[in-house]
Chains A and B, each alone.
Chain A
Amino acid sequence: MQNSSDNLIDRYQIVKTLGQGSFGKVKLAYHLATNSKVALKIINRSTLVKTDMQGRVEREISYLRLLRHRHIIKLYEVIKNKQEIIMVMEFAGKELFDHIVQQGRLQEDEARKYFQQIISAVQYCHRHKIVHRDLKPENLLLDEHMDIKIADFGLSNIMTDGNFLKTSCGSPNYAAPEVISGRLYAGPEVDVWSCGVILYVMLVGRLPFDEESIPDLFYRISNAIYTIPDFVSPGARHLLKRMLVVNPLDRIIVDQIIQDSWFKKNLPIDLFPEISNDEDDGEIDEGVVNYLSEQLGYSKDDLVKIMQNRLSGVDAANVEEIKDAYRLAKDSMNSDNVSSLDEYMNRKSIEIREHEKSRKHHGNGDPSHSQHLSNIAIQKHGIPSAYPFDSTHLGPQGNSVDSTISILPQSLTPYHLAFMQKRGVEITKKRSPVTAKKSKIRWHFGIRSRSYPLDVMGEIYHALKTLGAEWLPPTTDDIWTIYVRWKKITDPANGRPAIKETVKMRIQLYQLEQNNYLVDFKFDGFENDNESKHDVDDTFSSYPFLRMATRLIMELAVNSQS
């Protein structure tokens, strides 16, 4: 078997590309040690909403690793490198909707079986405060036993971060009215609506809301204008009508669906296990604590304190987040639903984690193995913050259900283009590029050179001489650093007096790689007229230094041309 390194990521042999998901490419691969099939979801970091969210995104993905349910695609592990975040996931080969298309529409019993499995998975996630928000055909898969596997649970929370509407503009057929009207709060009710659409599609074989033009489609969804064909049984019809309700507060909730008589028919007993309420039994599972501290970077002290409800000295904003994570981890660790790859991962990931840990702490010599919570908070935003506010696995936290703040759908560019087109205006290509930020300017510090290093030093001395600068004689143990002093009297301008200044600069030649050198200029403080020396810390103004560097660079450029 040949392993071309191109097709090898970590310990996975890539077979082929399966498709382009909402967040990046999905590839089929084999895990080399167990020969299990996996799907690799490769997320390019540059597609993440904001760079300052990367830390949070990584933590959220780690949290998703804790999800364990037989009808949810498992996330085995997360591989991170500079460019990408690679999610190693359970593989399921078939899409539910290909199956429906083949059959035309499904018989009620078969549709109910899938629907029960979907609701079971959705209930499990909602209980752990994870809302899918983007349930649609691409995310509903069938495994080899023709059982449902839902993909991408929790991902829309992380990736779109309140700007959900923008991404769903392409295919909003499954989106709830409050979503397309731009409401920024998207709770569990949103998934109920989408499940209603999915049930409709399984039973009827077509979409309940399907219009060519986006404004028309939005209109029909916002007013729940759809018809149910006569062949749908009264029981199913009743449930559909309870799910596809415009007002989210009037819509049936998951726990009521489970009590519905059409739903309960042929319900496997083990699909909705009794929830044991053992979180308050006071006993703390050390295994879970270790796992969370290693996986999510919480401090063990904080974890134990919080689970014992000793909240003094603990950041209150984290309490709920940590409790959720604890319950979820405990749940998933008790789960008997384990594959050979699972077992392998459980053994293996400990080694890997140990490895990552030693690497992370190398250098600062910190023996305590987890970052403190407050540190994480500061890393998350560019702006210094006193406490970590946004923990998104809870959905947009703090934004209450009754908030009606929305993004006006008509103001979004795709909608506006459709609107103008309807009024007979042609769409030209003359639009601004997607983001101005994408055309990044490359910054170089210092000057790069491929010349022989001694020649470079010679040129620098020559330029300094031309500028009238002075320098200390080079020492024998470091001939690559020059200490320079430059006295300059600026010309009096517009009635302002001339300014005398003496800037000091340190010039150093570095080797970047073979035959490639960098001349670095470093500000070395000021000297003023009465010869008393100043520390660099005393001064702020970088202009005299920049001016000097500019003159020097210009001089060097002139020399190199002649």
Chain B
Amino acid sequence: MSDVADQEKLALQAIRAFLATKTCYDVLPVSFKLVMLDSTLSLKGALLTLLQNGVVSAPIWDSVQCQFTGLLTANDFVNALRFYENQPKLLDELNTLKLEDLSRVEEEIGATKIENYNVSPHLSLNEAYKYLIKARTHRVALVDEDPTSKRKIVVSVLTQYRLLRFVALNCKETQMMKTAIGDLGLGTYSNIVTTTMDTSLTEVVRQLSNIGVSALPVVDDQYRLLNMYEQFDVLGLVKANGHGDLRMTVGEALMRRPEDFPGVHTCRLTDTLSDIMEIVRRTRLLRLFVVDEEGKLKGIITLSDILRYICTV
């Protein structure tokens, strides 16, 4: 076995051992803000709250039943948009739809329902990532129970990014992971759904909802990567009053991004996890597009891929 592969293996062992000794609580910052949405809020109001607070998801709380009912994400808005696209007569309802009615709408179009994954914050990180991988979700609510009243309380949300950043910040061993991602086979390299600058948003929203991915790469006619359109971009439509805007193209929609949009990260097959984790440490990274020397799209590496590799391979 080569030296590099040995090092990689040692690093993985060390990281897993580290994760086994830590719980979800350890990932949480000392002080943080939690945005919770009452289930009687309108979808539109809730999404505006997400935007205003600069978060991409928030737990929903049913204050009659006193329980956590789900995590609202951009995906739910994508689903709602698709539902009303099929039912133009009901379109006005989009502005008044309540969070508690969301699952009904999602059921009707056969989309994935609103996520209500939750675990105890005392769960070890080892178990937590297994849960994330098994549930095929990007985030899980941390729900604790008050021992006196047996009431539930939402503590925070554990995301894949938070978990990976925790590893990046605390495990020096990530620097030992020097095997090229091409050799690891990390990521997806076939059947990648792409879109173009001239595709209409209607089409893109349909794809996002159908395939259940969080972003679509935007390529030109030579398959060179130009940009991406992500679920989070759809949230921007909330402000502009939804529907009519779906007729615009991806290119036009991307013009509405904030000026300080941090950009799309790309890498080559020769890059290593050590390099990727360094980026995770420094900045918010949700996925990497793998390109070749000419900038043509080869594949996508998501945080799920990285987590799965670190934790199970």
Residues of A within 8 A of B (CB): 161-163, 165-166, 182, 184, 317, 381-387, 389-390, 396, 398-400, 402-414, 416-417, 419-420, 423, 425, 427-428, 430-437, 439, 441, 493-494, 496, 499, 501, 526, 528, 534, 538-544
**Given A420-B252, A425-B255, residue A182 in contact with residue B65 (CB < 8 A):** no
**Given A406-B266, A408-B263, residue A493 in contact with residue B65 (CB < 8 A):** yes
Shortest beta-carbon distance, A127 to chain B, in Å?
24
Taking a contact as CB atoms closer than 8 A, the residue among B236, B254, B260, B265 that contacts A434 in the complex is B260
**B258 and A411 form a contact (CB under 8 A):** no
Q: How far is the CA of A381 from the CA of B263 in the complex (A)?
A: 23
Shortest beta-carbon distance, B268 to chain A, in Å?
5
**Given A416-B227, A437-B54, A544-B149, residue A408 in contact with residue B264 (CB < 8 A):** yes
Query: Could you say which of B225, B274, B275 has the most chain A C-beta atoms within 10 Å of its C-beta?
Result: B275
Query: Could you say which of A184, A387, A432 has the most chain B C-beta atoms within 10 Å of its C-beta?
Result: A432
Find the A residue at minimum CB distance from B258: A432
**B175 and A427 form a contact (CB under 8 A):** no
**B274 and A400 form a contact (CB under 8 A):** yes
Find the A residue at minimum CB distance from B288: A405
Query: Could you say which of A384, A409, A425 has the most chain B C-beta atoms within 10 Å of its C-beta?
Result: A384
Q: How many residue pairs between the two chains, A and B, have CB atoms under 8 Å in the bound complex?
A: 186
A-side contacts of B278, CB under 8 Å: 396, 398-399, 403
**B169 and A501 form a contact (CB under 8 A):** no
Interface size on B, residues (CB 8 A): 67
**B276 and A405 form a contact (CB under 8 A):** yes
**A182 and B263 form a contact (CB under 8 A):** yes
Taking a contact as CB atoms closer than 8 A, the residue among B26, B31, B53, B263 that contacts A165 in the complex is B263
Query: Contact mask B266-282 → A, CB, 8 Å, 1/0?
Result: 11101110111011011
**A400 and B227 form a contact (CB under 8 A):** no
B-side contacts of A413, CB under 8 Å: 255, 257-261
B-side contacts of A543, CB under 8 Å: 66, 151, 153
List 22 A–B pairs whose Cβ atoms lie within 8 Å, in order of A's numbering: A162-B283, A166-B263, A184-B279, A382-B30, A382-B32, A389-B168, A390-B282, A400-B275, A405-B271, A405-B279, A406-B265, A408-B226, A408-B227, A411-B226, A413-B261, A430-B256, A431-B255, A436-B52, A493-B64, A538-B147, A539-B147, A541-B148
Shortest beta-carbon distance, A541 to chain B, in Å?
4
Q: How far is the CA of A526 from the CA of B151 in the complex (A)?
A: 13
B-side contacts of A165, CB under 8 Å: 263
**B146 and A540 form a contact (CB under 8 A):** yes
**Interface residue SS majority, chain A:** loop
**A432 and B257 form a contact (CB under 8 A):** yes
Find the A residue at minimum CB distance from B144: A540
**Given A381-B169, A539-B149, residue A404 in contact with residue B271 (CB < 8 A):** yes
**B52 and A441 form a contact (CB under 8 A):** yes
**B172 and A403 form a contact (CB under 8 A):** no
Query: Contact mask B227-268 → A, CB, 8 Å, 1/0?
Result: 110000000100110000000000110111111111111111
Additional pairs, 13, CB under 8 Å, beyond known A381-B169, A396-B278, A540-B153: A161-B283, A165-B263, A398-B175, A400-B275, A403-B278, A410-B225, A411-B226, A411-B264, A419-B251, A427-B255, A430-B240, A432-B256, A526-B148
Taking a contact as CB atoms closer than 8 A, the residue among A403, A407, A427, A441 that contacts B263 in the complex is A407
**B226 and A433 form a contact (CB under 8 A):** no
**A383 and B165 form a contact (CB under 8 A):** yes
Taking a contact as CB atoms closer than 8 A, the residue among A403, A436, A542 that contacts B51 in the complex is A436
**Given A405-B279, A416-B257, A425-B255, residue A385 in contact with residue B170 (CB < 8 A):** yes
The 5 closest A-B pairs by CB, nearest first: A541-B146, A411-B264, A407-B263, A382-B29, A403-B275
Find the A residue at minimum CB distance from B220: A410
Q: How far is the CA of A402 from the CA of B272 in the complex (A)?
A: 10
Find the A residue at minimum CB distance from B18: A386
Q: How far is the CA of A390 from the CA of B170 in the complex (A)?
A: 12
**B255 and A436 form a contact (CB under 8 A):** no
Shortest beta-carbon distance, A439 to chain B, in Å?
7
**Given A408-B225, A435-B54, A494-B65, residue A384 in contact with residue B26 (CB < 8 A):** yes
Q: How far is the CA of A417 from the CA of B258 in the complex (A)?
A: 11
Q: How far is the CA of A433 from the CA of B261 in the complex (A)?
A: 11
A-side contacts of B272, CB under 8 Å: 403
**B265 and A408 form a contact (CB under 8 A):** yes
**Given A383-B27, A404-B267, A420-B252, residue A538 in contact with residue B148 (CB < 8 A):** yes
Q: Does B289 contact A (CB under 8 A)?
A: yes
**A496 and B65 form a contact (CB under 8 A):** yes
Q: Does B223 contact A (CB under 8 A)?
A: no
Q: How far is the CA of A317 from the CA of B169 in the complex (A)?
A: 12
Q: How far is the CA of A541 from the CA of B251 in the complex (A)?
A: 47
Shortest beta-carbon distance, A238 to chain B, in Å?
29
Q: Does B131 contact A (CB under 8 A)?
A: no
**Given A404-B267, A544-B149, residue A435 in contact with residue B260 (CB < 8 A):** yes
**A407 and B264 form a contact (CB under 8 A):** yes
Shortest beta-carbon distance, B174 to chain A, in Å?
9
**B255 and A435 form a contact (CB under 8 A):** no
Find the B residue at minimum CB distance from A428: B255
A-side contacts of B65, CB under 8 Å: 493-494, 496
**B172 and A166 form a contact (CB under 8 A):** no
**A407 and B51 form a contact (CB under 8 A):** no
Q: How far is the CA of A550 from the CA of B263 in the complex (A)?
A: 43
**Given A404-B267, A411-B226, A538-B147, residue A382 in contact with residue B256 (CB < 8 A):** no
Q: How far is the CA of A383 from the CA of B172 in the complex (A)?
A: 16
